Amino acid sequence: MKFYSWNVNGIRAVVKKGTFQAFVKEHKPDVLCLQETKAEQGQAEIDLAGYHEYWNSAVKKGYSGTAIFSKREPLNVINGFPKEFAKKFSFADELQRDSAEEGRVITAEFDKFFVVTVYTPNAKDDLSRLPLRHKHWDPAFLAYCKQLEKKKPVLFSGDLNVAHTELDLANPKPNRGKKGFTEEEREGFQNFLDAGFIDTFRMFTEGNGHYSWWSNFSNARSRNVGWRIDYWLVSEKLRKQVKKAEIHADVMGSDHCPVSVTVNID
């Protein structure tokens, strides 16, 4: 099965450009996870024959949001964190904005695995959301994935808004301590690995120069001055079934590009 993840930075715009339809036609994902949809279901004219679609939109219009498109109908779909689980964590930041209402997580359960996609809160330029991120969001998301894993293996994807190591961004030194490359955010990602999840791209590809997001300024994308902040991670149980993991930097339409993993699973 081919699993894809893409922060589209506004589904309506990428559909209007035609790049979304062209991408799906060419790549034919079995499961497609989207982040930053900035829309509710029906607001974008998407007619993907053969796909079931599920949306988790933010309460605030035109903001955040996630979706899953799947050729196979899931057994169950969960928007956000389950209420009983969420009670253990605080998701409000210093402005009392509730990140639990921002449509950031959606889970699809299949016969033999779970697929989870996440749009992790950005720490912000002034790092005002870093405490929310480090003390609440990242621990909550990891605990949630581990809870699911007790039932069956997990594949999770999304814009995690962090470059894990210096190999995951073009200019690590000037960005150290800034949003997306703070010690706290990097620790949050390392905790996923320490808990047994596998960064699938690094199973096949070493070194730098492999990025999934580029600034819209200074011709960053054409110069490949980017960051790898979009990922597919899988449970250790699935390691031997992972056949390929790729970054599709040639797919335009957003400031992010899709990332994918091919897994021998049914």
Catalytic residue among 159, 168, 199, 230: 159
Tokens of 157: 């994807």
What residues contact 223, with CB distance under 8 A and at least 6 apart?
A: none
Catalytic residue among 119, 144, 211, 231: 119
Active site residue 119: yes
- Spatial separation of the C-alpha atoms in residues 98 and 139, rounded to whole Å: 16
Strand order in the sheet with 2-7: 52-56, 66-70, 31-35, 2-7, 259-263, 242-247
Dihedral sign, Cα of residue 203, residue 205, residue 207, residue 208: negative
Nearest to 249 by CA among 202, 214, 217, 204: 214
Are 221 and 214 spatial neighbours (Cβ–Cβ below 8 Å)? yes
Q: What is the CA radius of gyration of the chain?
A: 17
Q: Could you please report the per-residue DSSP string of 29-46? A: -SEEEEE---S-TTSS--
Tokens of 30: 């079995």
Q: Could you please report the per-residue DSSP string of 62-131? A: TS--EEEEESSPPSEEEESS-HHHHTTS--B-TT--BGGGS--EEEEE-SS-EEEEEEPPP--TT-TTHH
Active site residue 47: no
Tell me which residues are annotated as active site: 119, 159
